[in-house]
Amino acid sequence: MCGIAGLILSSGAAPPDPAVLSKLIGALHHRGPDGSGHAVMGRVALLHNRLAIIDLVTGDQPFFAGPATLVANGEIYNYRELRDSLPGVNFATNSDCEPPLHLWLRDGANYAKQLRGMYGIAIHERVHRTVTLTRDPFGIKPLYIASIDGGLAFASEPQALLEAGLVKRKVRAAALEELLQLQFTTGADTIFDGIQRVLPGETITCANGHILERTRIDPIPAAPPEDIDEDAAMQRLDRALMESVDLHQRSDVPYGMFLSGGIDSATLLTLMARLNDEPVLAFTAGFDAPGATDEREQAAAIARATGARHEAIEVTEAMVWRHLPEIVAAMDDPTMDYAIIPSWFLARRARQDVKVVLTGEGGDEIFGGYKRYRQATLPWWRGGRTMWATGSFDKVPVLRSQPVGWRDGMAAAELRAAEGRRSPLAAAQALDMADWLPHDLLLKLDRCMMAHAIEGRTPFLDSGVMAAAFRLPDSMKLRGSTGKWILRRWLEKNQPAARPFAPKTGFTVPVGEWIKAQGHRLGPLVAAQAGVAQIAHPDKVVALFRDIRRWRHGFACWKLLFYALWHQRHIMNLPVSGDVWQALSAR
């Protein structure tokens, strides 16, 4: 896990400015505090900050082979197998990120088809002066690109491009509407005017400051559900999950996992307990708010059943108000998912003991776990509903203008998800994997982990697990109102202490209750922020914070609070200083 950045300038441009390069890599120091490296070749610069996970001694980047140079952010889990598949290659290191360089020399832009992992990679070829940028198929690791004066720039985080002065701090209006209504943004265009995401699975070939070609690997099968019985499906699933978790545990530093009371993390812990001789270190977060869902007791029961060492933390209201400005500041490509709060605190605690954490992201999308999937597969006359059809501010009239085109990106993704011969359930899953997963859940995971220089790994998001699970019959995913049926059956057989068929309580963060208790104080401060005043009526914002009557009111307040802090840091470029009260007072 690392941070990468670079410049791809045209032949007529001035050479890379050392001051700009210094700002680029300096802005990504938190992603890789263990070392840094660079290669400047004519008008191409590759930069790297390292978080050392595999090959601690010789794994510093960039890597060089023949006419090519590579920098990478991520982990290639099948690196040992790839080394064996490249006879005659003299590897200079034992790093997991060196084999992709030799694969590229052999296969060109198709090299990524052989990779099993999470990554953002940049490869420069000196003879033809091309730069190849590649992102993993699920979008676990981020990569961004921008057109700048004289060519192109790329980085692991948008804020590096902003800090280097390569792109102006300007909000794209359409993306802001999406953010407010959905809590994340869709597609390639980010909220920053001029910065784009390299899409999940995309490989972009660049030369002379221009994009020459784009290709893309889609990890989601478009074929219809297969014909397989439950026993065969269970056996295949067991093999795929074991293999994936085994691969995701490859590390030269200590690792642990995040444990909730849910199905996905219980599955991971059960598999890790099989594979490890020593007790697995598991971390759980809970809350001090009355009535809040607290998974610590159930997580502790699963930990006892598997012999895990369990560490639980309590996230309090005081902790949130103290650290919320720096939590929000970490979300430069913003997602307003309130789960950033426990994720950030869990990462901070885990970093005391480990450098790698396995997490359960992707389980709901691959196995069909969300309630919205049942609604999406029903006809309208039986209560069916279009996914992501309602925006957060539809019934909270505080904005200066009602968002109109906020669902355009989601509608386009719906059309793509329905292509091929997928069932309605598979199409709903594919829709979530197009935007919700990479631009909310995985983005949250990446930024919260990297804020503390810790690597988050997602064993469910693996080509082997996808091949074993996605095309299962719909009835093995969704049965009645119960999602993830086959995974629950697997867990029932292998770890009954997890109570996989117990009613799901859902995971919530009591942010609405915390805001309600401080609404009279927060409202005027949020309403007075420049970013909020541009999009909402200040008097209506104050009134909303003072009279939170329903869940949607509290959620709207959370989004306005998030945007106030985010706008301060990433648009106004104010430093993060003090708690939420001090931050909101420093206009």
Active site residues: 2
**In whole angstroms, how far apart are CA 340 and each of 200, 344, 501, 509?**
21, 6, 27, 10
Q: Looking at the chain, how many residues does it have?
A: 587
In the block, residue with structure tokens 């832009």:
109
State whether the Cα torsion 518-520-523-525 is positive or negative: negative
CB 293 within 8 A of CB 508: yes
CB 198 within 8 A of CB 144: yes
Please state at what angle helix 317-329 crosses helix 340-350, rounded to 10 degrees. 90
Type of residue numbered 257: M
- Residues 6 or more apart whose CB falls under 8 angstroms from that of 217 comprise 112, 113, 137, 201, 202, 203
User: What three-state secondary structure class fits 34?
Assistant: coil
CB 564 within 8 A of CB 582: no
H helices within 355-407, ranges in order? 363-367, 371-377
> CA 182, CA 200: separation in Å to the nearest integer?
20
State whether the Cα torsion 11-13-17-21 is positive or negative: negative
Cis omega (within 30 of 0) on the bond before 62? yes
In DSSP terms, 309 is beta-bridged to: 281
Phi, psi dihedrals of residue 125, rounded to the nearest 5°: -110, 120
